[in-house]
C-alpha cells in the first residue's frame, strides 16, 4: 500500500468516526512524499501530547477549568483547552 493509500484509508476512518457519509470525489490522483510529514497514527507520544485530543469523561463537581488544570499537570504540558462546560446542576 502506498502512503497516500494509507492516508486516504485514515481519512475514511475519520469519516466513520465523525459519522460522515459523503463520498469522495477525486480530481487529481497523486502520491505523497514520505520525506515530509507522517501518518497521524504514527506520531510518537510526544507529538501526540502536543497535537492530540482526549475525550474526557469529566467527573461532576469540579469545573471544566479545574479538570483541564489537572490534566495539564498530569500530562506535564503547558497548553490545553476544553470543548465546553456543563452548567452546574444542584440536587
Partner 1 sequence: MLSNKEYVAVMQIHKPVDEGKLREVINEFVGRIYQKPPVRSSVKRALRIKEVYSIEILEVEYPYVLMRISCQHGTYVRKLIHDIGEVLGVGAHMRELRRVKTGPFKEDETLITLHQLSEALYMYRELNDDTLLRKAILPIEYAVSHLPKVAVLDGAVGALTHGADLAVPGISMFHEGIRKGDTVVVFTLKGELVAIGQAMMHSEQIIEASRGIAVKIKRVIMSRGTYPKYWKSRQR
Residues that bind partner 1 (CB under 8 A): 3-4, 6-8, 10-11, 14-15, 17-20, 22-33, 36-41, 43, 45, 48-49, 51-57, 59, 67, 70-71, 74-75, 83-84, 86-87, 89, 91
Q: Is the dihedral of CA 29, 34, 38, 41 positive or negative?
A: positive
Tell me the three cell numbers of residue 86.
456543563
Tell me the three cell numbers of residue 80.
490545553
Report in angstroms how near the CB of residue 78 gets to partner 1 at its nearest: 16
Report in angstroms how near the CB of residue 86 gets to partner 1 at its nearest: 6
- Which helix (DSSP H) or strand (DSSP E) does residue 10 occupy? helix 3-17
Comparing CB distances to partner 1, the nearer of 22 and 78 is 22
Amino acid at each position: 500500500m502506498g502512503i497516500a493509500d494509507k492516508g486516504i484509508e485514515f481519512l475514511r476512518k475519520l469519516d466513520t468516526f465523525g459519522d460522515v457519509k459523503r463520498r469522495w470525489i477525486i480530481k487529481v490522483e497523486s502520491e505523497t512524499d514520505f520525506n515530509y510529514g507522517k501518518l497521524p497514527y504514527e506520531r510518537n507520544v510526544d507529538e501526540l501530547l502536543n497535537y492530540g485530543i482526549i475525550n474526557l469523561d469529566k467527573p461532576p463537581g469540579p469545573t471544566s477549568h479545574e479538570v483541564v488544570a489537572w490534566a495539564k499537570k498530569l500530562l506535564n504540558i503547558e497548553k490545553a483547552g476544553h470543548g465546553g462546560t456543563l452548567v452546574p446542576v444542584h440536587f
